[in-house]
Each structure stands twice: as C-alpha cells, then as structure tokens.
Structure 1
C-alpha cells in the first residue's frame, strides 16, 4: 500500500510533536479492517492530519467520518482539509462525547509533565508523571467498547501503571517495535473491552510483565510486520450520534466574529453602567464626601466621571453583606465558662474604577477599592498601611511563645485573602501568642505540652470567608514552618 501523503508523513520532533513516520503508519494501517456500516474514527493529537486521513482512506473514505483535534493553528488548518470535523484546541479544553468512536489513533505528545502546584493537574495517578499518561486518561473514554486503539508511544512509557491500564482496558493486546526507532517507539493494538467480559488467552499478570519488560528494555518486541498476516483488527460501525465535539473556550477567529457581530465587547455598556431611560433627580442639598462615597459604593453613582484634575474614570460600585463572628465567655456560678457566639452583619463596599485618562500611565487598568474584612479596631487608631501590617507581624513573630519558622499560605487561603474575604493577620498574631482559638480543653492542653516537648502546634479559628467558616494554623514540630489552611485543603 502506498501512502497518499508521503511528503507530510515524516518523523520529527517540534515542541513535543512526533508525527508517525511513513513506514510505521503504512504497516499499522494494514492491521485494520473495515466493518459494514458507517465508521467513526478520531485522532486527538492529529498533527497535520496525515495518519488519521490515511486510516480513513484504507477503511473506505466514503464509509468513514473522521474527527481530529490539534493544538497548533497551522497544523490544524491543514488537518481541516483532510478530515470531516477538526478542532484547533488543546484536547483538555474540549468536550467530546464518550464511547462514540470505533477507532482511536493515539500518538500523543511525549515527555515528562512539569510540576503543577495549582491543584489542577491533568494527570491523575501515582506513577511517573508523563504526558502520554495524561492524554491516555483523557482520550480512552472516546473509544466505544469493541473499538480498536492504535497506540504509538516510546517504550519508556510502559511502567507499572501504564501497563496495568492497558491490560485492564483492552483485550487482544499486541505490541510491536516500530520500524523507525529514532524515538524508540512501540506500536500497541487492542480492542477496548469491559474487564468482566475479557476472555484472555494470556493471563493478566504475564501480559503485564511482558509490557513491563519491554518498558525497561529487558525484552525486545518483534518489529511491526511489513505485511499483516494475523487476524485483522476490525473497526466497528458507529453507534449513536456524537452529541458533543467542540472546544470549551472560543477560538481566536470565533472571538473575532462574535466581537464584530456585537459591534464590540460593550454593546450593553449602558445597561450596566447607568440607569437606562431614567433621569436622576438632583439632591435637595449638596452632598458631602461621606454621602458621595456611600452612594458610589451602593451603586447609585456609576458611569464616566471626570475629576477637576482631568482624570477620567469609569466607575461601578456595589455593596455586599458579610457576617462577622464574635465569641464571648462568661463565668457561671459554679465556676464553669459559657461560650456565646455573636453574628453581626457587616456591609462591605466594592468599587471598580476603570482608568481611561488620555495619556495616563495607568490607561486601561482596573482599580478595585474595598474595605477588607478585619477584626474590630479602635476607631481612634490611625489606619495601618501594608508596611505597618508586615512590621506588626514581624514583631509578633519575634515575641511569639515559640519559634514560628516560615509563614506559608495554601492556595485556598491565598485566594481568599486576595479576594478580600478575610484578614489573616489577626489569626496569625493570636496563634503566635498562644491563643489557640476554638479548641476544646484537651486540645489546648496538648498545645501547651507541645510548647515544651516540641510537638506540632495547632490552632482553629471561626472565620467568615465565603464558603469557608474555619481556618487552621499549624506550626510543625521542628518549628520550620507555620501554615495557614482551610480544613477542606487538609
């Protein structure tokens, strides 16, 4: 069989892109056979679309619907000319119907995943973090039961975890060495089968050990045959319809079209920034600065405002209600303590200002003005600056009852503080001073003992930070670090 696109069927690496070489592609396709009816096939890492287009022509182009996803714009444009449906997108930014395809051509990007500290890793597993595994976990569900997978990956990917996945998800597994060995690739064929329905001629353990030995280099698989003489892998006919096949976020071209259709991004600007069709009545008397600030925060004053100095701002004000907690202790006649928790409504103004001053260095920037939640302070005390707050925390650490180490916030706490949901400084100072918060007497005694025997110190405080109502502060036993976290992050 001769390839239709020999000029494009070349093997090179560019930004993690490893297209299937001509020899491997031709021999792998010869192992496939069509079935009666319309077949639906997909390549989630299509590159220039050559491999999946060749597979479609080998199966009978008129009976095949071809789907493809490619991240690179230039390669995606070429893919669109070869297939029926193509997306220019990261496959993790797509929504594709599960169990809708009879053939999964799987030649993913190769390489190790970088560390992800955001808590949103694409790879969910305990083994070596590899791109191939992340793509496999994402794409395996596209294949219908009874569908065929052609998997082209480097043999180093075949660790304990990946080999186990293959053996659990597929029957009639066969593995071959690719003719082109620049990247030490192997070609794996299999039919997706429910584990309870698998009829194995080779025991599961032996098959997995065979894959592991190839992955470690202990065994060398047979080379993919020039002519396929084994039972072919029949691509089943499509069942049902593809309900979802689209990119979640807009493509740049789509975004441009929507912008032109709406005549800009601010077609409803007037709806949000002033009261349409109503003329505000002038006040009875001149407003004071306090009245102006209150009206602005309440959203009564919005729109374009020009100051006497020539500064032009687009303003939008709003106010939301938060609850502050206060705990009081009273001594009973028998000497015991009664705890009373008081919830108080607190109105928090939030003002957004968009700087449109011509020639300003801040042109186009959005400023956010809000009163950050904090514990009640002396109204006569001067307002503290961020530098004052840092200095106060530094002094609190120096006078703490124990070495505090480095101060660390988890991602959730850091986001809540950045959004102005609560002020952590108060709780840090309380923890440093040995005020352990809302703990029972047993836990308090453990903390006091830990001050002397060097165990971990733990505090718990009631807060009001959106969905989070409790803050934990933990100082490790070696006193190297103090961490602020929400219980949901533990």
Structure 2
C-alpha cells in the first residue's frame, strides 16, 4: 500500500511527534471492514491527517460514505490536515466538545511520554501521568457502542490501570506489536461495550503484554480473523464537534466553508439598510414620536438648520416621574393628601456646535 505521508512527515517532526508508519497503517486497514453506508471516524491527535485520510480512503473503497474528523494541537500540522480531512480543529483536545457515542472508529496514536506533574499544592515529586492515558480517557466517550478502537502506544504503557480501563470498556481485544519498532509500539484493537467490570482474561492479556511477554506477536500482513466492522453512525441526533475557543484564522475559514454561497454574498441585502436614504415623515412628529425616535437611536448625525448652523447631534430618552398632590377630606372631617407619581419619558438631544464662529465646539443641550 503506497502512502504519501512518510515523506511529508519529516517536515512536521517536532515536540515528540512521530506519525503512524506506512507498514503498520496498511496492516491496520486490512483488519477493518464496513457494517453500514454512513460512517464517521475520529483521530483526536491527527497530526498532518495522512493516516486518517488513508483509512477513510480504504473505507470509501469498500462502498461507504465516510466523514473523517480530527483534532491537532500543532498549528502547522493542523492546517495541513484541514486540506485532507472533512473537519479538523486546531486546539488542545481538552478544549474540544465531541458528542458522546458518535464515532465508528477511534484511531488513537497519542503523544508518548509523561505530562507535566502538578506539584503546586503538595510540593512533592509525585509521578506525572502518561499522556497516552490522558488522551485515552478524554476521547473514549466519543466512540459508539460497537465502535472500533485502534490504539497505538508503546507496549510498556499497558500497566494495571490502563489494562483495566481497556478491559472494562472493550470486547474482542487483540494485542500486536507494530512492524515498526522505533518506539516499541503496539497496536490494540477492541470493540466498545457498555462499561462494566473488567474482563479478567483481557486484563491479564494486556498486563502480560505490558511486561513484554508478547514481543514476538507482530501485527500480521494479512488479517487472519473476521474483520472488525465499523458501525454506521446514528442519524437524527444533534452532533457536536467544536472547540470551546476558536482563533480568528479558523473562524474565517469556517465562515468561508459554511457560508460562502449563502450568507456573505447577500451581506448587502441583510445589512445594507442603514445606507438607505431616510424619507421624511408624512406629518409633523409630536413629542411622543420624537421620544420613540430618540429611544431607537434614529436622531443622530450631522444636521444643518435653515440659518446655516451645523450641529453634530446624538439623541437619547430617559424616564422621569411627575409628582402631583391631591388634597381631600375624610368622612370624619380630617384632611388627607394623596401623592401621585406618573412616569414621563423625556427626550434629550445633545449636540456639538460645528458652526464656524465664537460658538464652535460648544455643547448644546435640547430638552
């Protein structure tokens, strides 16, 4: 299987990034098949996007319509992936919202190594957590029940905790060493099931694999078992895949992608009303009409009186209360006083005098 990305990846290698190699990816693809016509696949650390692009191409070749989604933290790799995949978000995976149980394949080849330990509160040298486990926990909820996990990590990461997490959430788990052994990688397949107690046999298998008991079990060139079937995505439900925060470049790209043929060509129609010339009213406006115009922000701009006086005006309206007092007499002959407060809207126009002369620049209030 000829892939383009091994050559391209050399341009992106930094921050501990190394893509899935050609031999491993080709054998992974050989283990998958389709179980529907409408599929969705996801890579939460997609790099330059070539691996998921190749997987999509293989599933499309089987006769399915496939949507490939990715997340990538590095800007250069993310923008390269945007040209290959359907939707790619340049963001930290922690800042991405993904609807749960909506992906048919979770292709997870996360960064390798330790995260930075948080010692702000204790001051001790507590062991930092592995990045592989962080990415696994953050992205597993996106995989549908019956969906396929493809996990590519160094085999020694599979400790008791990681093995139990996989055994609790997946059936039909298979472990293989990758053909490429630069990072001593392994490939773990699984079919997601509803979370329950860990399956003892699966836990034992993965713990032994993490200790190096199956280093000779290499991913075969030809898949010997029934293929893993990628399930069809559920339709009719609200699907969310977006970042909590988005930068200006991605926002501009999304606007261009989503609204290039709908909203923006009609921008003048929707937002050009303010440029139209205002027609005078049919009759002279009363004080109530003036108050409404001021409250709506229509009384503003530069006006010129018949005498040539030029004012820059800005109108506003505030609510005042009018106090009236009514005097009366009670049945017993005593006097009473009733105070009535009535709301009144008062229009106010403030202006700067632009008329050349001694009043230039003065502030005028019309009330």
TM-score when scaled to structure 1?
Answer: 0.48
State the 1:14 CA deviation.
2.1
Cα separation, partners in 2 of 1:224 and 1:254, compared to 1, 3 Å: closer
Larger C-alpha radius of gyration, 1 or 2? 2
Contact in 2 for aligned 1:11/1:20 (Cα 8 Å) = no
Distance in 1 separating the partners of 2:315 and 2:216 = 77
Contact in 2 for aligned 1:71/1:88 (Cα 8 Å) = yes
1:143 matched residue in structure 2: 143
What pairs with 1:28-177 in structure 2 (closer than 5 Å)? 28-60=28-60, 63-117=65-119, 129-177=129-177
> What SS class does the counterpart of residue 74 from structure 1 fall into?
helix
Q: Deviations over 1:420-467 (max 9, x none)?
A: xxxxxxxxxxxxxxxxxxxxxxxxxxxxxxxxxxxxxxxxxxxxxxxx
State the 1:227 CA deviation.
1.1
Contact in 2 for aligned 1:127/1:161 (Cα 8 Å) = no
Q: Deviations over 1:303-333 (max 9, x none)?
A: xxxxxxxxxxxxxxxxxxxxxxxxxxxxxxx
1:234 matched residue in structure 2: 229
What pairs with 1:174-323 in structure 2 (closer than 5 Å)? 174-195=174-195, 204-240=199-235, 241=237, 243-254=239-250
Aligned residues: 254
Q: Deviations over 1:263-295 (max 9, x none)?
A: xxxxxxxxxxxxx8579xxxxxxxxxxxxxxxx
2:289 matched residue in structure 1: none
2:16 matched residue in structure 1: 16
State the 1:156 CA deviation.
1.7
Contact in 2 for aligned 1:214/1:221 (Cα 8 Å) = no
Runs of at least 5 residues in structure 1 that lack an aligned partner in the other structure: 120-125, 262-275, 280-490
Q: Deviations over 1:215-259 (max 9, x none)?
A: 12244251000111211001011113452111111214257899x
**Alignment RMSD:** 3.0
1:3 matched residue in structure 2: 3
Contact in 2 for aligned 1:4/1:54 (Cα 8 Å) = no
Q: Deviations over 1:19-72 (max 9, x none)?
A: 101111111111000122200111110001011111111111661111111111
State the 1:194 CA deviation.
1.4
Distance in 2 separating the partners of 1:3 and 1:255 = 31
Contact in 1 for aligned 2:171/2:193 (Cα 8 Å) = yes
Runs of at least 5 residues in structure 2 that lack an aligned partner in the other structure: 256-266, 268-313, 318-367
Cα separation, partners in 2 of 1:60 and 1:170, compared to 1, 3 Å: same
TM-score when scaled to structure 2?
Answer: 0.63
State the 1:5 CA deviation.
4.4
Greater relative contact order: 1 or 2 (C-alpha under 8 angstroms, separation 6 or more)? 2
Contact in 1 for aligned 2:116/2:128 (Cα 8 Å) = no
Distance in 1 separating the partners of 2:151 and 2:15 = 20
Cα separation, partners in 2 of 1:59 and 1:127, compared to 1, 3 Å: farther
Distance in 1 separating the partners of 2:111 and 2:208 = 23
Deviates more, 1:52-61 or 1:205-214: 205-214
State the 1:11 CA deviation.
11
> What SS class does the counterpart of residue 212 from structure 1 fall into?
helix
Distance in 2 separating the partners of 1:254 and 1:180 = 35
Distance in 2 separating the partners of 1:174 and 1:16 = 27
> What SS class does the counterpart of residue 8 from structure 1 fall into?
helix
Distance in 2 separating the partners of 1:9 and 1:173 = 30
State the 1:205 CA deviation.
2.3
